[in-house]
A and B are shown apart, each in its own frame.
Chain A
């Protein structure tokens, strides 16, 4: 692979930075723990303890509200599919989780940004039925991630429809403007991802590979923006990477030719080994896209967690001077994430192309 040196250098750089940072971090933590013991008695009840893991998870997870700045946030629509029917209302009704909302069919409560059915105000519901109902409740809300995804899609459509229009208008001429910026990337996907991995049939899979590549890349980049229109962690959400990986799984297996299936169900081993081979091969089918799902999710989430942890240090130490250390690290991580954003889009697309390539490969014995 032509890009192995990038991967290698990235790993080295990352481990170096983390190594340096962690040594520094452990010393500080010891110091703070020591201090805390002394000050615990002095703490007042009103002062709420800062819990970094809670804050970080809250930022990484999906939400029914979109926090803009200060105390301003946009309430997003809640759509619930219950056993009695569809229920739609604004997330405003929960008042940031402080109030229950009595809907058409049940009463709902926001617990850790998740909608639950509660028994309150309705004596007919027992605790057991509530538990059973909660299992049936399907939350189809337009959450922060969904809105963020739609915005990224509109952006993608604007970019590529205008590029496409430019190709129509400037037929046969050299590219210009946005078109000339996008063309090398499209050519990169074609010449360095699709062609070497899929072979001469690459053209059929170009739309999928391009869509996956640009969808992941642009959402990775939007995810890096800490405020509106960023702020969502779309590609670091397992549901999104699951869908992308699932699409890869479907495409690969739908296009698999007889050699692919022969390799799985009738490999060149003694027949008595087949019962062992089948489960192994079936696991292989699932594990490839599963690795795709985990890789993208983990890379993006890890980046966000590191950045948020570094920022949290300021609040953990309750000192603005910590920013002298953490801000340069955050800047460094952001720059690294910029690279990771493109790299993960590239790797996801590359592996998808590779899997398709192995599924449609023709063997000439």
Chain B
């Protein structure tokens, strides 16, 4: 019977001690420990959520990149096509221009040749005339060696001049 009869002294000391222990542990141990555990759990959860979000973002970015790449590729093809067209156009235009220029150059050359020919002809004419004059002069000089003949001619000429 003694075994199952609570002793008042031990009840007293247990109550006092347990309450002190409870308040000490609650204030200085459980509160910071539970707080730290909760904080860490929350931060881990946050990190996991963030990682999941980052994964989604990553997938989204990859999709975006792919579509961008596709667009870029299409645009490149378009640009290349246009460039090729442009090239053809430019080449054909250049060819045309070259042909025109060639024709023009040929025309100019022909004109120049004509001019040169004319100049040369004129020169030849001049020289011929100069030679003719020289020959004529020489002939005349031969004819008018004596003064009498000269005077006769002048007189003749003067007679002919009617004022």
Contacts and interface: CB of A to CB of B under 8 A. Distances in A.
Interface residues of A, number: 48
Contacts of A210: 25, 30
Contacts of A197: none
B29 A163 contact: yes
Interface in A236-285: 237-240, 242-244, 247
A301 B112 CA distance: 138
Contacts of B115: none
Interface string A284-327: 00000000000001000100000000000000000000000000
Contacts of B3: 57, 60-61, 238, 301
Contacts of A57: 2-3
Interface residues of B, number: 34
A161 B20 CA distance: 14
Nearest to B40: A172
Nearest to A209: B30
A206 B30 contact: yes
B24 to A, nearest CB: 6
A141 B15 CA distance: 14
A187 interface: yes
Q: Which of A142, A190, A210 has the most CB of B within 10 A?
A: A210
A211 B21 contact: yes
B37 A187 contact: yes
B26 interface: yes
A291 to B, nearest CB: 14
B36 interface: yes
A48 interface: no
B9 A164 contact: no
B86 to A, nearest CB: 63
A96 B29 CA distance: 41
Contact of A183 (B18, B30, B37): B37
B37 A62 contact: no
Contacts, number: 116
A215 interface: yes
Contact of A242 (B11, B20, B31, B40): B11
A212 B9 CA distance: 21
Given A172-B39, A243-B14, A160 B7 contact: no
Contact of B31 (A145, A171, A207, A301): A207
B8 to A, nearest CB: 6
Nearest to A186: B33
B34 interface: yes
A146 B33 contact: no
A353 to B, nearest CB: 15
Interface string A56-93: 01001110000000000000000100000000000000
Interface string A200-235: 000100111011000100000000000000000000
A239 B34 contact: no
Interface string A153-185: 100110011011001100110000000000100
B36 A139 contact: no
A207 B7 contact: no
Interface in A110-146: 112, 138-143, 145-146
A340 interface: no
B99 interface: no
Contacts of B36: 167-168, 171
Contacts of B34: 186, 190, 203, 206-207
B118 interface: no
A243 B17 CA distance: 11
Contacts of A146: 9-10, 13-14, 17
B39 A142 contact: no
A188 interface: no
A150 interface: yes
Nearest to B14: A243
A149 interface: yes
13 contacts: A57-B2, A142-B13, A153-B20, A161-B28, A164-B33, A171-B39, A190-B34, A203-B34, A210-B25, A239-B10, A239-B11, A247-B18, A301-B3
Q: Which 4 A-B pairs have the closest CB atoms?
A: A160-B29, A207-B26, A167-B36, A239-B10
Given A153-B20, A240-B10, 18 more contacts: A62-B7, A138-B9, A143-B9, A145-B10, A146-B9, A149-B17, A153-B17, A156-B25, A161-B28, A163-B33, A168-B36, A171-B36, A186-B33, A207-B22, A208-B22, A211-B18, A237-B10, A247-B18
